[in-house]
Amino acid sequence: MPARSNRLLVAAGATAATVAGIWAVTRARQRSADPATRDRESYPPREMPKSIAADVWIVDGGPMIAMGLHLPIRMTIFRLPNGDLLLHSPIEYSPELGDRVAALGTVRHLVAPNIAHWTFTAAWQQAYPETTVWGVPGLRDKAQVKASDLRIDADLGDVAPPAWDGVINQGIIAGAGGFTEAWFFHRPTRTLVLVDLIENLEPDKLPPVTRLVMQASAATRGTTATYLRLPVRFGGEDAKQAVRALATLDPERVVFAHGRIFDTDGAARLKRAFAWLK
């Protein structure tokens, strides 16, 4: 293999490992600040379930700190036909938030949808010990996960388990360097839920250093941040095709962990978001 190709592959792996480490190596924490500052840097009302479609809620939290960057963060909740709740990418637990969520149904499934968004899940597992924790393939083998209090019960795959089959479709995007993210598509409402494959941070909500870093990485443009593009590109044709195929789901809305969601015209905006992937 040419030396240049080797260097690119190494760079891709290093980039993916860095991204994975943002959450895995550093224990993400909520920022201590006065309520006005926290509201300005997040999407109030915070820690409150907000309905975006029938049986689908988002819960905005943060800002949280990861590797010195101050970021808003989001959890998505699906209520299944039997009343069970699936919590996707749980944010920091508090008894008050737990009560608000439990008022919607029975907390039954906790989902860690990529190799980064898992650090708050253990507290939910402790609060609701009867839940099943689902993680992307390989997450349970990470040293940071093994050293944590989190118990992963089952791996996510390209086929939905019986618990939500027929209501939510899912798939796995496996990139280079260990980057893996699961997508979820709520069929009744055409709601696609991602985590980090798209970021749409609003510069005015970010403190100066975070704003500069996020703008430089395109994370404020409703697209894939540049630091995640190499892992996807070097994940091979399967990874690239998996990303392209998301638009064929024809979502009405697209939810992700950081920034303002695509609340309408989701399929078209998704195509624009992934226009970099030729």
List the chain pLDDT tens, one digit each, 278 residues: 454 444 444 444 434 344 434 433 334 455 445 677 777 888 999 999 999 999 999 999 988 887 788 899 999 999 999 999 999 999 999 999 999 999 999 999 999 999 999 999 999 999 999 999 999 999 999 999 999 999 999 999 999 999 999 999 999 999 998 899 999 999 999 999 999 999 999 999 999 999 999 999 999 999 999 999 999 999 999 999 999 999 999 999 999 999 999 999 999 999 999 999 97
Question: Are 124 and 107 a contacting pair, CB within 8 Å?
Answer: yes
Question: Are 274 and 243 a contacting pair, CB within 8 Å?
Answer: yes
- Tell me the pTM: 0.89
Q: Which amino acid is present at 226?
A: T
Give the count of alpha carbons within 13 A of 147, CB side only: 7
Rounded to a whole number, what is the largest CA-CA distance in the chain?
59
Domains and CATH numbers, the chain: 12-273 (3.60.15.10)
225 Cβ contact partners less than 8 Å away, ≥ 6 residues apart: 196, 199, 214, 217, 218, 219
> For residue 84, what pLDDT is reported?
98
- C-alpha distance from residue 30 to each of 27, 42, 219 (Å): 10, 11, 20
